Structure 1
């Protein structure tokens, strides 16, 4: 069974088959009901008269199923299933409709279980985690069953399934397991109908039990109204462009951003809604992803930027904690709530292994102030911004003529790289060798430059601190000059991907160079040279710019970061091309991306394979791509800004 249906709301999501069932699969496409990094429902299988009914049709509203029948003896009844996800809950209504005039009885059964697997366990990375002290139980109740998972005195989670009418019987599905079989014997009038109401409430460790969800249709109607309000709010992208295909991609992207918002809290405990990174693995606050997503959406939905900045300020580092890579002023990479993070079996929880989230925080803070004309948020977050600046100079390595650097955290189970290309081997030489030591990646220095320039504007114009503004402007100018000297490969007219621990140029030709146009660290002539180079066939596939130019030894079209095509990466490139006055080049990449969106029902995937248009007439999928994914969803908005707003809107 493949997972073909996804329901999402406020950080809860359900992945099911086309007919609404859950089997407990693992690997790249797990199914189940998920909340706060745990699977709270791992089996949900409906049978009628002892068999799994056949699917006639499915839609966003539900499914129609029947038992097996034929031309001479068509099915005696049909089942209409409707499901909806509410924050912390799944609700389902099963309506059994008679197709005959004679009364009948129907045996309905539902297999249910909750394995409480942490999402890190479900991924296909073959790691094993010690959970020997964990214990799962099932407690039968008159109207259903409660599943519970305890681990020592420190962890307690549960899932409760209730039904109306109550089941005629609740019994173990296997002698030694927690799975249960709930069964009903329903009377069905001739040409009449009867209904079952099913409710699942998930209670993660430390959370309050959610209210019983109402009827699925009322839930879905309310969610549809919320989503429509977000999509149709002004300004409406459709009214800002006469390019209908781009408008359709923007509308689809906004709908996904509405679904991907998850609850968070601000510095004063205020409730927020922030864009999570993506489904299935990243439905949580991510520093880099949430910041760039909010930046792309800023001209259209500035509330995303405000909530993201407040949530990241609330989780900003305050002390030195080597286990989490936390440092004072550092912006968090990701926030996890699951069991393995709680017990430090993965180095997450709050994990600070990002070298670029901190400068991007500063970039978005100033951009929000400029875009909205309201300096209130910049004033409120002044202490957080100053702490972020000091992190860049003190712990990041920018002080004393240095660069923002990081070292691999892979030996502890953390990230190999701390820039956006964070997979093993993503940063490499043109011959495939991997650099060693503390790495300074090119695009991160551009972010740092932009952060210094923008924070100087805040210091001078909002905080009234001319002395700090002078200091930051001087540091930005010095960084720009040093960057040209150390990163520019004169023989190739292109910036190095990185400097290794010995300050040697890591010479692979990579898309990171396009980010330098957006940040402004390159002088105009160099920026135009780089921008035009990115449109050459080894970089530009026809759908987008590859992460690594083809023809180099480490290039692989199905590698995560060494030849694939990422829409958000291309969005930054297009914004940079617009800033550099390369309108024709920006338009060419934008058209490729919009055509790729059309091939994916207007939803851009997280990543596509690097195969060119000359090799295959439609984009080739990357096999492990998240969908929906926030910065891919926001990419059409960035394209709209770049093409319709020009350089001033981009900045």
Structure 2
């Protein structure tokens, strides 16, 4: 609703002293709120459903620094009442609809609750936060309202926000104000000056270092719109044109990212909503770097390049969008370690675990500026390169990557010399104690609760090494190096035999979680063994036993697979790694079961994960609690999980590939479909614009009786062989 606002008498603009002195009304009733995230490049914002930033884990962040720690709106000195909030389907726009609590106008007139509608629309584009606020008066009287924006920038490093303490910080400079903007600055101990410039489309009636007050005159049945921008530098005054231009460019850029790769469309409307949200989340988190696209791990804590997360996200999307894997491989090769550094756990050939840009990383207060303390990232990097080659047949890219792959394999060999297994033990106390994907301090333990001494060999990591060596051997053979191929394949077989011999526990009918520094197995049933199935290491007989364990009530909650069996000493369904459910972990285990022919249970796991996503507003969080599913109850959220998280969003596509049984042979340019299944309730599904060599095809699956048929659409660019096994 729009309209012109009539001029009001001057006395109507007088501020009630009680309102002027009122603090924020923290006692006002507030509905349980969710957090909403926006991102572009190396900037992201997290706010509650009101659009407010309160400085408790939320904020506007740039380069791992919180540049806006408070951003709250009040009307008439009071908080607002929430009507509803949402993200646009493409993740570009956040919109919240609010209304007033009982307040007084600036002239002292009572305004009942629900008379004023407030809409806040927000986006991020090119390191700037843009916001449009619209006030609409549905009451029966003309009013001048006091709208206040409360703001602050604490310039805390991401690790401070996460709970790290610092003995000393830099200097917060005095705020600078002018007619319609305020500049907040902080000079860090790294001598870098970080700034937040908050600008308004109209000059505030009162502007202080942490608050801007506006008297907004709104006649009945009319609206008033104004704009705010927050950036590192002062720009032109915010207005409608700038907001619309930023929104249009952001949406165009997001559409371009979402067009990469094949898409899925099914007969199920709600299922399609999940797939679309998952695809939008992958696109949101994917950042265009100089080396190509890279999926940042998750918001808020991990909105940066992580090696392990990037590789697994790329594997999940590989059948649909191999370009993502190419970008991940290029970035990791570019940042491969070339020297030894105990502080950063770096050794020549090792692949990066994490990179950060904040003040604490710059000052080496923490080792995470470029940190290599991930034991699994290097073999996973090699495996991704092999899988990318199988998917695309792009040997030219692999040839360019070959020196990096050889250096990674050599590091793997050196790091395995002591026991024959790839082990980890942090080189400095500042590093991570556990360096697998379950990196909590208590995630690796013996059955009696003892924390093992290192160096530690995790079971799934040996599976990654096996698959990496085996795949690298195949690539060496394609390059004509038969001697290297024989050596790599022999080492892979030696690893397979060693794992079967040292990790298998007969009484558990599964593999041990790990071997400690004395070679003693940690006889604990975990989901880690499921990753061995994904890599194809176990014998068929043992793989079936592992699958039976994972599908038992000890692991399968009904919403997904727990990371730890419910009879383990440290089991806690509310823990981070010891009994919770991680969608990417469930997807890897499910894909592993599909590899060994456990087809019908794959559909069951896909269904449970989809139903969990429905309860989480179509967006799977980083993890959720591992409580057993009960009729009529929803899955229980983990309170500080990242949302969105790249490998949780990508889990949908890995699960779908496991159901459909699709493999694409890039060498032969053909599609193979093995005993396809469709998700429960889905009668047809089409994979559109699937790239096979130089050809794009549409591949359709349809339920026919108790079977699923697969066929190529008549319209496609060229001939692609389709081989279906039923």
Q: TM-score, normalised by structure 2?
A: 0.80
Please say if residues 564 and 609 of structure 1, whose CA atoms lie closer than 8 Å, have aligned partners that are also in contact.
yes
The question of whether the paired residues in 2 share the 8 Å contact of 1:277 and 1:286 is answered with: yes
* Pairing of 1:56-75 with structure 2 (within 5 A): 56-60=83-87, 62-69=95-102
C-alpha contact 2:101 2:112 (8 A) present in aligned 1: no
For 1:94 and 1:588, the matched residues in 2 are separated by 45
Q: Answer whether contact 1:163 1:199 (CA < 8 A) is retained.
A: yes
Could you say which residue in structure 1 is the equivalent of 2:46? 15
* CA apart distance, 1:623: 2.5
**Which residue pairs with 1:256 in the alignment?**
281
Q: 1:539 to 1:59 in 2, by over 3 A?
A: closer
Give the structure 1 partner of residue 231 of structure 2: 201
* CA deviation after TM superposition for structure 1 residue 354, in Å: 0.3
SS in structure 1 of the partner of residue 96 of structure 2: strand
Superposed displacement of residue 59, structure 1: 3.8
SS of residue matched to 1:137: coil
- 1:87-486 equivalence runs, <5 A: 87-99=126-138, 105-123=144-162, 125=163, 127-152=164-189, 154-172=191-209, 180-188=210-218, 191-202=221-232, 215-231=242-258, 234-238=261-265, 247-266=272-291, 272-394=292-414, 396-397=415-416, 399=417, 402-408=420-426, 412-461=429-478, 463-486=479-502
SS of 1:549 mapped into structure 2: coil
Cα distance 1:554–1:460, how it changes in 2: closer, same or farther (>3 A)?
same
Greater CA radius of gyration, 1 or 2?
2
CA deviations 1:91-117 (Å, max 9, x no partner) are 112233444787654443322221111
Distance (whole Å) between structure 1 residues aligned to residue 201 and residue 269 of structure 2: 47
Which structure 2 segments of 5+ residues have no match? 1-29, 88-93, 104-109, 665-671, 675-726
Mean Cα displacement is larger for which, 448-457 or 83-92?
83-92
In structure 2, the CA distance between the partners of 1:191 and 1:530, relative to structure 1 (3 Å rule), is: closer
Is this contact kept in 2: 1:3–1:31, CA < 8 A?
no
Q: Is the 8 A contact 2:319 2:663 kept in 1?
A: no
Query: Following the alignment from structure 2 to structure 1, what is the Cα–Cα distance between the partners of residues 246 and 521?
Result: 55
- Residue in 2 that maps onto 1:633: 649
Q: Is 1:592 aligned with 2:608?
A: yes
- Contact 2:190/2:362, CA 8 A, preserved across alignment: no
Q: Any unmatched runs of 5+ in structure 1?
A: 173-179, 267-271
Q: Is the 8 A contact 2:228 2:238 kept in 1?
A: no
For residues 520 and 209 of structure 1, do their structure 2 counterparts lie closer, same or farther at Cα, with a shift above 3 Å needed? Answer: farther
Contact persistence 1:332–1:357 (CA under 8 A): yes
The offset of 1:470, in angstroms, is 1.7
Give the Cα separation in 2 of the matches to 1:153 and 1:111: 29
Displacement after TM superposition at 1:188 (Å): 4.4
- In 2, Cα distance between the equivalents of 1:171 and 1:479? 66
Q: Bigger CA drift: 43-52 or 281-290?
A: 43-52
Corresponding residue pairs, total: 623
Shift of 1:167: 2.8
1:40 is matched with 67
Distance 2:497 2:442 in 1: 29
- Structure 2 CA distance, aligned partners of 1:47 and 1:560? 36
Which residue of 2 is the match for residue 81 of structure 1? 120
Matches of 2:100 and 2:547, distance apart in 1: 60
Q: Which moved more, 1:569-578 or 1:87-96?
A: 87-96
In 2, the alpha carbon distance for the partners of 1:498 and 1:439 equals: 7
Q: 1:414–1:401: structure 2 CA closer, same or farther, 3 Å change rule? A: closer
Q: Does 1:621 align with 2:637?
A: yes
> Pairwise CA RMSD of aligned residues?
2.8
Is residue 557–residue 564 contact of structure 1 (8 Å, CA) maintained in 2? yes
Deviation at 1:238, TM superposition (A): 1.8
Call closer, same or farther: CA 1:591–1:150 in 2, change over 3 Å: same
**C-alpha contact 1:555 1:563 (8 A) present in aligned 2:** yes
Given that 2:554 and 2:565 are in contact with CA atoms closer than 8 Å, whether structure 1 keeps it comes out as: yes
CA contact (8 A) 1:250 1:634 kept: no
Cross-structure match for 1:175: none
Secondary structure class of the residue paired with 2:602: helix
What corresponds to 1:177 in structure 2? Answer: none
**Are 2:343 and 2:430, in contact at CA under 8 Å, matched by a contact in 1?**
no
Give CA deviations for 1:89-142 in whole Å, capped at 9, x if unaligned. 11112233444787654443322221111121122x4x4212244334322233
Judging changes above 3 Å, is the alpha-carbon distance between structure 1 residues 212 and 289 closer, same or farther for their aligned structure 2 residues? Answer: farther
Q: Structure 1's 191 and 587: CA in aligned 2 closer, same or farther, altered over 3 A?
A: closer
1:230-270 CA-partner distances (Å, limit 9, x unpaired): 4465522225xx6666544332211111111124332xxxx
Q: Give the structure 1 partner of residue 23 of structure 2.
A: none
Report deviation, 1:43. 1.7
SS in 1 for 2:499: helix
Cα distance in 2 between the residues matched to 1:99 and 1:249: 36
Q: How far did 1:471 drift?
A: 1.5
Distance 1:190 1:548, change over 3 A: closer
Give 1:163 deviation, angstroms.
Answer: 1.7
Please say if residues 238 and 248 of structure 1, whose CA atoms lie closer than 8 Å, have aligned partners that are also in contact. Answer: no
Separation in 1 of the partners of 2:662 and 2:84? 46
> CA 1:614–1:191 in 2, change beyond 3 Å: closer, same or farther?
closer
Work out whether residues 238 and 244 of structure 1, in 8 Å CA contact, stay in contact via their aligned partners in 2. Answer: no
CA distance in 1, matches of 2:518, 2:418: 17
- Equivalent residue, structure 1, for 2:540: 524
Deviation string 1:138-184 (CA, Å, 9 cap, x unpaired) is 22233211111112463221111122223344224xxxxxxx22233
How big is each residue's C-alpha offset from its partner over 1:32-67, in whole Å with a ceiling of 9 and x where there is no partner? 111221111112223344444444444435334444
Gap change, CA 1:615 and 1:420, over 3 Å in 2: farther
CA distance in 1, matches of 2:514, 2:373: 18
Residue 402 of structure 1 and its aligned partner are, at CA, apart by: 1.1
1:428-450 C-alpha deviation (Å, 9 max, x unpaired): 11222211120000000000000
2:712 aligns with: none
- In 1: Cα distance, 2:387 partner to 2:235 partner: 39
- The question of whether the paired residues in 1 share the 8 Å contact of 2:336 and 2:350 is answered with yes
Find the residue that maps to 1:554 and give its secondary structure: coil
With over 3 angstroms needed to count, the CA separation of the structure-2 counterparts of 1:67 and 1:534, relative to structure 1, is: closer
